């Protein structure tokens, strides 16, 4: 395939080097990847064959310039493979997984390259380097060492085998999960079974059924996590039970899409790899290069939080059971599928808030423009112009050009809001083009959500949780858009895994600040603003149901740690029994409070980048809660405060130690008190 017939083989001429998805076809990807692999290996050989001693320019700069074709092909492809994984794209992904792992090892385990970087590292104090250059040498040396560059040839060969097999299994895990999630979407023959849902939700369920060829029925697709937004509203207990049962069975019900053997093998191979690298467990290998430092530090935090979370969840459960006993003609023991429904009843009784009834105030376009974008304008001076003229990878995606306060261009933001069978579950941010002064590129980032699409002509009304998710994912987008680094190695969200959620969790907080919510939360028919008293009550519910929410999250984080603290040679004979024992160990084994993700659909860990790192969300929340306190103490959502946060934290990417960057912003290290207060765990 030639340059003339494959648009990936030459840099895009579109604004911001946006991939020309209007021209790119599935058959273009593998040839571009293969040429990208070959080109970068040639570029690496040129670095290692230089006869003169290593310098920053002939080694580090040359390394950062290498692989441009591979980078742009990877960004273009992995955006599509997560958001529109057609069978053809899935087949490419499976073939590509071991090839990509082998290529990465060919660079990270290259002895000659490691020698050159080690020479620079040894004399780093004598080199005239600016802070970003200094950190680039340190990070490459650290990452290659942790990857196994210092191992002998036999160990490297085994390591390469392990990495390729793990990569292939991760792709299998994701493919199985997508297929089983689609297969387990719950079909309802009669709308009466969905009593409690709004007209818009029923419309979306009917549309989803029609798209599956099930005219006249209603279909509820499953989100990535265990629960389901509909559980809070459905009055039919059997309907709630069916949804929960389907969700909990994903990847663990036998057949071609069962993930249990896959995840067990991934965990086993990760443990063997860790031993090869000199670590007692995969968790030890991972945390060695995170802000946590050790699995023991993670375990201490999780155990410290689990006890008060479980205590609060027990109290919440008793209150819900009391409500059932008082209000149901034939009381029954509370089960997992009942929790959300009776929680909403209790919330209504205690705070006069029915979150399901809030949806008319959360019309998606208004939330986006007058909420998410407006907050970014208020804090950072940004403005957004939609660019329907630019090609997108799927008709459901939209592109916006982002401008700074002085009118200069910042980058592109792509929003892909709606669920579809070819999109993986959950919500995420992808870099499509990474910012780099060295390469002369500006950022292009994409946010994906999985909101049910209503029938044509009907408004998209979001749940409170979906509003929160939109703000959260846009925090990741800002992290990418504000990147201001020289070297692509540090661009955007290329930071420690247990720091990457921090900016996004901060951005969540603005959704209920009066000056923001007052702008976007308006009834989609009347324009009536959400009553101030109701906003006040929403803010007052900050600790409501936090026992449950903290417990379900901690349970998933603990399963991740348990699976990845296994030593080499350790085995898991029965995944369900292993999970039960692990949850009992930390005191989070209440069947009415199921883990947010069971192992067989814990995609963050087995097909994402969070293995032994799912704890990151709560770890980052310590910084997030402390940051929000700083904003409150310093005048709120002002341009001055936003600029400080942008310049000292968001813009530095991975070019600075994250905790050092935090201290630079905050004036001190983070304190845990605000987090405990936020989650009601301080008493």
Cα–Cα distance for residue pair 336/320, rounded to 1 Å: 11
pLDDT interval class at 651 (50, 70, 90): very high
**Cβ atoms of residues 101 and 163 within 8 Å:** yes
Domain-located, residue 518: yes
- pLDDT (average), residues 536-555: 95
- pLDDT (average), residues 499-509: 96
- The domain boundary, picked from 98, 132, 150, lies at 150
Domain-located, residue 664: no
pLDDT tens, 61-77?
A: 999 999 999 999 999 99
Domain-located, residue 202: yes
pLDDT tens, 142-175?
A: 999 999 999 999 999 999 999 999 999 999 999 9
Domain-located, residue 451: yes
* Same domain membership, residue 487 and residue 414: yes
pLDDT of residue 1: 61
DSSP assignment string, 398-416: EEEEEE-TTS-EEEEEEEE
- The domain boundary, picked from 498, 519, 540, lies at 540
Q: Does the pLDDT of residue 4 top 90, yes or no?
A: no
* Same domain membership, residue 197 and residue 142: no
pLDDT tens, 47-56?
A: 999 999 999 9
Backbone angles phi, psi at 384, to 5 degrees: -135, 135
Q: Does the pLDDT of residue 371 top 90, yes or no?
A: yes
Q: Does the pLDDT of residue 434 top 80, yes or no?
A: yes
* Same domain membership, residue 79 and residue 213: no
Task: Classify burial at 56, counting beta carbons within 10 Å of its beta carbon; exposed 0-12, middle 13-18, buried 19 or more.
Answer: middle
3-class secondary structure per residue, 480-524: HHCCCCCCHHHCCCCCCCCCCCHHHHHHHHHHHCHHHHHHHCECC
* Same domain membership, residue 387 and residue 486: yes
For 394, the domain range is 360-540
pTM score, whole prediction = 0.94
pLDDT tens, 395-407?
A: 999 999 999 999 9
Residues 6+ apart with CB under 8 A from 84: 393, 394, 420, 422, 423
- pLDDT (average), residues 442-464: 95
* Same domain membership, residue 130 and residue 23: yes
DSSP assignment string, 513-568: SHHHHHHH-B-TTT-PBPPHHHHHHHHHTTTTTHHHHHHHHHHHHHHHHHHHSPPT
Give the dihedral of Cα atoms 75, 78, 80, 85; nearest 10 deg.
Answer: 170
pLDDT averaged over the chain? 96
- The domain boundary, picked from 493, 508, 540, lies at 540
pLDDT interval class at 19 (50, 70, 90): very high
3-class secondary structure per residue, 74-142: HHHHHHHHHHCCCHHHHHHHHHHHHHHHHHHHHHHCCHHHHHHHHHHHHCHHHCCCCHHHHHHHHHHHH
* Same domain membership, residue 466 and residue 391: yes
State the DSSP H helix or E strand holding residue 386, giving kind and residue range, or none if neither: strand 383-386
Pairing between β-strand 397-403 and β-strand 428-433 as defined by DSSP bridges: unpaired
Q: Does the pLDDT of residue 265 top 80, yes or no?
A: yes
pLDDT of residue 2: 64
Domain tally for the chain?
Answer: 3
* Same domain membership, residue 390 and residue 449: yes
Cα–Cα distance for residue pair 407/390, rounded to 1 Å: 20
Residues 6+ apart with CB under 8 A from 370: 519, 520, 522
Residues 6+ apart with CB under 8 A from 471: 371, 372, 375, 507, 508, 510, 511
User: Can you name the residues that pair with 433 across neighbouring β-strands?
Assistant: 444
* Same domain membership, residue 20 and residue 132: yes
Which CATH number fits the domain that encloses residue 120? Answer: 1.20.1050.40
* Same domain membership, residue 512 and residue 442: yes
pLDDT of residue 537: 92
pLDDT interval class at 3 (50, 70, 90): low
pLDDT of residue 356: 86
Q: Which of 466, 473, 501, 508 is catalytic?
A: 473
* Same domain membership, residue 192 and residue 146: no
pLDDT of residue 571: 85
Pairing between β-strand 428-433 and β-strand 218-220 as defined by DSSP bridges: unpaired
Domain-located, residue 132: yes
**Cβ atoms of residues 483 and 452 within 8 Å:** no
- pLDDT (average), residues 269-275: 98
pLDDT tens, 556-597?
A: 999 999 999 999 998 899 999 999 999 999 999 999 999 999
Q: Does the pLDDT of residue 373 top 80, yes or no?
A: yes
- pLDDT (average), residues 167-194: 97
Cα–Cα distance for residue pair 316/336, rounded to 1 Å: 13
* Same domain membership, residue 91 and residue 213: no
* Same domain membership, residue 201 and residue 145: no
Q: Does the pLDDT of residue 683 top 90, yes or no?
A: no
Residues 6+ apart with CB under 8 A from 541: 347, 351, 353
Domain-located, residue 286: no
Domain-located, residue 447: yes
Which CATH number fits the domain that encloses residue 419? Answer: 1.10.1370.40
pLDDT of residue 682: 87
pLDDT interval class at 363 (50, 70, 90): very high
Tokens of 149: 């560059």
Domain-located, residue 480: yes
Quote the percentage of the chain above a pLDDT of 90.
97
In the residue annotation, 473 being an active-site residue is answered as: yes
């Amino acid at each position: 395939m030639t340059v003339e017939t494959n648009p990936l083989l030459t840099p895009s001429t579109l604004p911001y080097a946006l991939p020309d998805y209007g021209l790119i076809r599935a058959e273009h990807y593998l040839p571009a990847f293969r040429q990208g692999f070959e080109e970068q290996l040639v570029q690496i050989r040129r670095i290692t064959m230089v006869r003169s001693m290593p310098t920053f320019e002939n080694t580090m700069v040359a390394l950062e310039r290498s692989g441009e074709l591979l980078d742009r092909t990877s960004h273009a492809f992995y955006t599509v493979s997560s958001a529109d994984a057609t069978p053809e794209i899935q087949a490419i992904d499976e073939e590509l997984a071991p090839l990509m792992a082998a290529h990465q090892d060919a660079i990270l385990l290259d002895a000659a390259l490691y020698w050159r970087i080690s020479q620079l590292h040894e004399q780093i104090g004598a080199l005239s380097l600016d802070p970003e250059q200094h950190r680039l040498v340190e990070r490459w040396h650290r990452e290659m060492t942790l990857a196994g560059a210092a191992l002998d040839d036999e160990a490297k060969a085994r390591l390469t085998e392990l990495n390729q097999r793990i990569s292939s299994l991760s792709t299998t895990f994701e493919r199985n999960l997508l297929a089983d999630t689609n297969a387990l979407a719950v079909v309802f023959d009669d709308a009466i079974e969905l009593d409690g849902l709004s007209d818009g939700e029923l419309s979306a369920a009917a549309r989803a059924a029609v798209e599956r060829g099930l005219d006249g029925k209603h279909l509820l697709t499953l989100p990535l996590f265990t629960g389901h937004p509909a559980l809070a509203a459905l009055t039919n207990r059997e309907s709630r039970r069916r949804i929960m049962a389907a969700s909990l069975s994903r990847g663990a019900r036998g057949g071609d899409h069962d993930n249990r053997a896959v995840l067990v093998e991934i965990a086993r191979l990760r443990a063997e790899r860790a031993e090869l690298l000199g670590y007692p467990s995969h968790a030890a290998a991972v945390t060695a290069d995170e802000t946590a430092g050790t699995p023991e530090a993670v375990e201490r935090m999780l155990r410290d939080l689990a006890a008060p979370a479980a205590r609060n969840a027990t109290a919440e459960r008793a209150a819900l059971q009391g409500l059932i006993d008082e209000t149901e003609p034939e009381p029954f023991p509370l089960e997992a599928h009942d929790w959300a429904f009776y929680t909403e009843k209790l919330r209504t009784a205690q705070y006069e808030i029915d979150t399901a009834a809030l949806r008319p105030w959360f019309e998606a376009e208004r939330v986006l423009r007058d909420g998410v974008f407006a907050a970014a304008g208020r804090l950072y001076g940004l403005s957004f112009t939609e660019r329907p003229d630019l090609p997108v990878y799927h008709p459901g995606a939209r592109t916006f050009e982002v401008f700074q306060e002085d009118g200069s261009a910042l980058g592109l933001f792509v929003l892909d809001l709606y669920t579809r069978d070819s999109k993986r579950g959950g919500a995420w941010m992808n870099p499509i083009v990474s910012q780099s002064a060295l390469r002369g590129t500006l950022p292009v980032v994409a946010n994906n959500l999985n909101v049910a699409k209503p029938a044509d002509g009907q408004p998209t009304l979001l749940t409170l949780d979906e509003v929160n998710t939109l703000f959260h994912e846009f925090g990741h987008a800002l992290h990418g858009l504000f990147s201001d680094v020289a070297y692509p190695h540090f661009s955007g969200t290329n930071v420690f895994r247990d720091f990457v959620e921090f900016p996004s969790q901060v951005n969540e907080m603005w959704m209920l600040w009066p000056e923001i919510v007052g702008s976007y939360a308006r009834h989609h028919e009347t324009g009536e603003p959400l009553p101030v008293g109701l906003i006040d009550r929403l803010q007052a519910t900050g600790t409501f149901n936090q026992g449950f929410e903290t417990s379900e999250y901690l349970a998933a984080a603990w399963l991740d740690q348990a699976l990845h603290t296994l030593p080499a040679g350790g085995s898991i004979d029965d995944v369900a029994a292993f999970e039960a024992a692990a949850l009992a160990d930390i005191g989070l084994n209440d069947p009415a409070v199921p883990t947010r993700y069971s192992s067989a659909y814990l995609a963050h860990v087995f097909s994402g980048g969070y293995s032994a790192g799912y704890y990151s969300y709560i770890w980052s929340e310590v910084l997030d809660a402390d940051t929000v306190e700083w904003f409150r103490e310093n005048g709120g959502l002002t341009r001055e405060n936003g600029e400080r946060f942008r310049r000292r934290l968001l813009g530095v990417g991975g070019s600075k130690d994250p905790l050092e960057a935090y201290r630079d912003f905050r004036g001190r290290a983070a304190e845990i008190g605000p987090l405990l207060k936020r989650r009601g765990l301080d008493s």
